[in-house]
Each structure stands twice: as structure tokens, then as C-alpha cells.
Structure 1
Amino acid sequence: MTDPESFEEIGHVLDRDADIEISTHARPHWAQTGTITFITLRLIDSIPKEVITRWDQLRCEFIARILPDPTDDWRADRDRLPDADRKAFDKQFKRLREDTLDSCLGRCPLRDPIAAQIVLDALKFFDGDRYLLGDTIIMPNHVHLLVVFCDANTMRKQCTSWMRYTARRINDQLGRQGHLWQSEPFDHLVRNERQLEYLRDYIKDNPVKANLAQGEFLYRRSDRAF
């Protein structure tokens, strides 16, 4: 349990002079104590395997137009791109991922209002104790949230806890079996105030972009500054 008073000095954008913890599993994860983090949890069928395969092909084609000696490892090749090209690469495929998620592929069990409420209730349960929860949107096949943790270890454990608990509850509620969530969430340290405002607007406007009707999503605006 975290002392609520310890939250008084956290909830800030990235401090480039402070320590950053980087861990790598399927993807890199950056964590910094007290920094606002944008997290995406997506359902296991939200991006089909054939779509991911096509993205890998597009990534290799992008890199081949720039590097004279590309390899079969686009991740390693990305790090070799000139700064401007690497930024363009990241921007292009970030937008592609977002557009695909907003297409609401897969079975979309979170379209069910009860399932969506299970997720939101789980996210709110330890708010102010283990973490500070900011703006949140429950979409039919993914979740975006802004959140602050006191340390990186808490972030990893809490994301796992959220996914395990909600998977069990939603499977029981909908009479389904099997995995619900993609095993590894996406997380991003908020770099500055401008990006924070962009992400708050992105969360709020996500249902509009995805052409969802009222009742197909669940949005929570935080009273905090994130």
C-alpha cells in the first residue's frame, strides 16, 4: 500500500534529468517514478496476425528505401535510420496502429456496457492508493488511460493485475473462455505539457474518430490535471 501523501510530489511530465528505467520484453518499456504515463491495453484479437505481418512488410519496405544494406530485423534497422527518417517511421506506424484499433476489429466484448464497467471499476479500485488514475476511455477492443505510479515495479504488477482480474470477470459475465488481453500493454511517458493536452483530447475524441454511438464506449474525465 502506498501512503497517499507520497503522491503529493508526483504526477508530472517527463523529467529528462531524472533516472529512467528501461526494460524490454516484446517491446521496450520506459518508466520514471511519478511521471504521467499513457497506457493502452488492447484485446487479444484487436489487431489480427495477418495485419501485423503486413505491417512488418511495410516497415521493411520503408527502411529499404533509405538504408543501402537493410537486414531482416526491422527493429534493429530502425535504430540505424537518420533522425528525421526514424521520426517519420515512428509517426507513420503509430498512426497505422491507432487507425487499426479504431476500426474496432475482433469480437469487441468491451462494447458490452457491463464488460466496460467491469474494466472501469477495476481501474478505479486502487486509485489514490497504488496509483493516480487520470482520463480513461474504454473502447470496444482497447483501453486508453493516463496514470501515475510511484515506481516502475508497481506499474508492471498493476497492469498484470488489471488484465487478469477483468479477464476472469468478463469471461464469466459473457460466458466466454480463453485469453482476453494482449499480454503486453503499450506504455508511453508523457514528454511535456503540450503532449499531455494532446493525449487528453485524443482520449476524449477517440469514440468520435471510431464512429461509435453512445453506449458503445465508456469515458471518464478525471478531476486531476491529467
Structure 2
Amino acid sequence: MSPAHVLEPTYDALRRRLIAGTWPSGFRLEATKLALDLGVSITPVRDSLNRLSGERLVQATAGIGFHVPRLDAADINQLLDWHEMLLSVGLRRIETGEAQLDIPHGHNGIADHSAILFGSIGMAAGNGELDRAIANAAARLGPYRRMEADLLAGAAAEIDEIDQTARAGSWESLTHLLQQYHARRRAIAPHLAHAVREN
């Protein structure tokens, strides 16, 4: 195992690139090339790729190695369903007064705004397992969220409305908006899958 002072920055760098959609789906992640690119030895890269594989941000195939997961429309729909379920659990805890929702201001585009907004719901729910599950689903959806502006009319305005509704504490309206949000993305799942493959 690599020492933490080398492993953590390597892991963080690779994770950020995966979430940002730096590589198209199905792209082979060669540890030697990544090590050269990051200026580290191959060991922290392999350790990081194994860790990211456990988080399902990387796919490991025996005899082939590591690659960026290739999600099809059905996979994306299942991930969106899971994300919606997790958020509904978080909102129920917030709505009952068990937690306080605090959404930071400032973001860099739709994907970043979505991650901040939904991450805030996860944190406010007051359950570490739920928070980590929402964060993981968000990370896996990251590359697809970056395609929304091109594929979905009014996507940025939609996130703004969800944000404002959450800040206002209008829980019933927020639940309805989140249902619409996920339904709209499920409707374009084939296009999202194609766009990330061609990225």
C-alpha cells in the first residue's frame, strides 16, 4: 500500500478527472501512463484505481485492466432511480426537523451546482452512510451531468429553481421538482450515454 501523502493526492486527482468526464466511457486507464502524467510511481496509481473500482467509478476486468465504466441507458436510468430514492430519504429527515439544510453559494456550471445542491441534502440528513451514498451516486453521474446543458433545454434554470425551492424549505414542491428532474434525465438517458462515449 502506498503512503497516504502520495496515495491521497493521486486518488483525488484521478477521481476529479473521472467525475469531470476527462476520459470517454470505456477508455482504458493504463497505470503506467497515468503514473507518468501525475509524476508518481505506478504503485499509488494502482492503489487508487483499485479504490476507485470499489467505488464503481472505475471498472476492473481480469486480464484487461482498468477502464472508465461504459454505462448504457438502462444503467443510467437505474443510477438516476437510486439517486432519487436517496434524496427522498434525505428530504424526509430534513422535513421532519431532524436536520437543517444549508446550501453553499457559488458553483461552476450545471454539474457543479447539482453536486453542491444534492450533496447539501446528503449532509443535512445527518446520516453518514446516506451522505456517502448520495456523494457516490453524484460522482458516478458527474460525466453525464456535464452533458446536460447541450442535451436538455432549460437544465440550468431547472437546477436554479430546485435550489431556490430547497432554500425556501418548500418540501412538497421540492419533492415534485426532484421527481421531474430525474424523469427528464431518464428520458434522455440514451443520448447521455452516447454523448459520454463520444466525449
- Determine if the TM-score, normalized by the shorter chain, exceeds 0.5: no
Q: Which has the higher helix share?
A: 2
TM range (shorter): 0.3 to 0.5
TM-score (normalizing by structure 1): 0.31
Structure of higher RCO (CA pairs closer than 8 Å, 6+ residues apart): 1
